[in-house]
Amino acid sequence: MYTIDIPASTPYKVHIGTMLLEASGELVRTACGGERAVIVTDSNVGPLYAPIVSQSLKSVGYEVFTFTFSAGERQKRASTLIDILEFMAEHEFSRSDAVVALGGGVTGDVAGFAAACYMRGCPLAQIPTSLLAMVDSSVGGKTAIDLKAGKNLAGAFWQPRVVIADVGCLGTLEPEQLADGCGEVIKHGVIRDSRLFAQLEQTPLTTELLHSDLGMVAAIIARNVEIKRDVVAADEREAHARKLLNFGHSAGHAIEALEEYKLGHGSCVAQGMVLIASAAVMRGACDASVPDRIARLARRCGLDTTCRWDADRIYTEALHDKKRAGEHIDVVMPHAIGSCSIECMSLDDFHELLRAGDCRHAACGHEDMAQAAGQEANTL
């Protein structure tokens, strides 16, 4: 088992390993205290794992309740949040009792927001069951729901007291669900760790690896958590450095909305990363191999990198992004694998950036594109 300390405003531990669901009661008891626990889960995960977690919580003295909502991104909304809060109030939860988020990113976000809101804050335990949630959304304290205008537009920073990532849960994921988390794994390599990226190029994180070497999968997850820990520790409330974690997301979230959330988050982020990296190449700010390497690795992990939306449609949708501030937006620009910077640019410049990176008709060949761009610049 890996145990990683997160030095946030409320410090906590992330436990990564196998057979952790069975041990979750003791881990939650130690970190959260309280007399009651509500397991918040969805209709896919609940039948698989809620009985195990409930039994473990009961074994250490908790009175346990379970709130289950319909699975899917469309349930990450205000009505689900209110239903959870009403459920907790109906069962007379106090602010010292625990919310246990059991599931993927949607569950972690909405349950975390409920924990932040109920009686102005109560202890939260995150038990992520998807790769996406293990490597990204369960760590760092961001909680949110979606609004009609866009993704994650209402939320709160609320750190968990403990994160329990049982890697064995990944065995019940469909290949496309496992792939969905790879978008964030690839992103972490691009922004901070060229060695991780190169390792994934040698051994992509796929269902085959999950079945053959669970220890390596746990090590990859642990390294991703370390990367996120380091970024969040430097900037817990996203004033500057934490924005690095948004690489590919301004365009990616727009693509998600345009796809009506029917295309996985990982594929949308992968398309956003390729789009922005391609634009950086065209501007001479990025090594020409970067977008090609991102696209190749994403495809090997099972992600669709072919974007069917033009730059103008993506730009219009991205205007709702929470990273926009007035007439400016923060964009993470890659320079090489493992090296990125944050640029605050005007909306007009961002629009032109998206147009420069619009490679819907070019699956590869960025070195040639960069050479052509350089020749054009020399001519001018």
E strand spans, the chain:
2-6, 12-17, 36-42, 63-69, 98-103, 124-128, 142-147, 150-157, 162-166, 324-325, 328-336, 339-346
State yes or no: is 328 an active-site residue.
no
Q: So where are the chain's domains? A: 2-172, 175-379
Is-catalytic flag, 228? yes
**Selected catalytic residue, list 188, 228, 293, 366:** 228
The active-site residue out of 161, 242, 323, 351 is: 242
Residue in 90, 120, 174, 327 annotated catalytic: 120
* Dist. CA 123–CA 39, nearest whole Å: 12
Residue 249 designated active-site: yes
* Model-wide pTM > 0.85: yes
Indicate if 152 belongs to the active site: no
- What the block records as the tokens of 297 is 């690795």
Let me know if 237 is a catalytic residue.
Answer: no
Q: Which of 151, 188, 253, 293 is catalytic?
A: 253
Asked if the domains at 2-172 and 175-379 fall in one CATH topology, the answer is no
- pLDDT tens string, the chain, 380 residues long: the values are 999 999 999 999 999 999 999 999 999 999 999 999 999 999 999 999 999 999 999 999 999 999 999 999 999 999 999 999 999 999 999 999 999 999 999 999 999 999 999 999 999 999 999 999 999 999 999 999 999 988 999 999 999 999 999 999 999 999 999 999 999 999 999 999 999 999 999 999 999 999 999 999 999 999 999 999 999 999 999 988 999 999 999 999 999 999 999 999 999 999 999 999 999 999 999 999 999 999 999 999 999 999 999 999 999 999 998 888 899 999 999 999 999 999 999 999 999 999 999 864 344 445 544 454 444 434 33
Which is catalytic among the residues 187, 226, 246, 351? Answer: 246
Q: Is 120 a catalytic residue?
A: yes
Nearest to 250 by CA among 279, 230, 289, 228: 279
The string of DSSP letters for 312-379 reads HHHHHHHTT-TTEETTEEEEEEEEETTEEEEEEEEHHHHHHHHHHT--TT-SS-HHHHHHHHHHHHHH
Q: Which of 238, 243, 256, 322 is catalytic?
A: 238
Architecture of domain 175-379: Up-down Bundle (1.20)
Select which of 265, 293, 322, 351 is catalytic: 265
Annotated active-site residue 265? The verdict is: yes
The rounded distance, in Å, linking the Cα atoms of 333 and 40 is: 37
CATH of 2-172, one of 3.90.700.10, 3.40.640.10, 3.90.1150.10, 3.40.50.1970: 3.40.50.1970
- Catalytic annotation, pick one of 76, 223, 243, 249: 249
Q: Could you confirm whether 253 is annotated as catalytic? A: yes
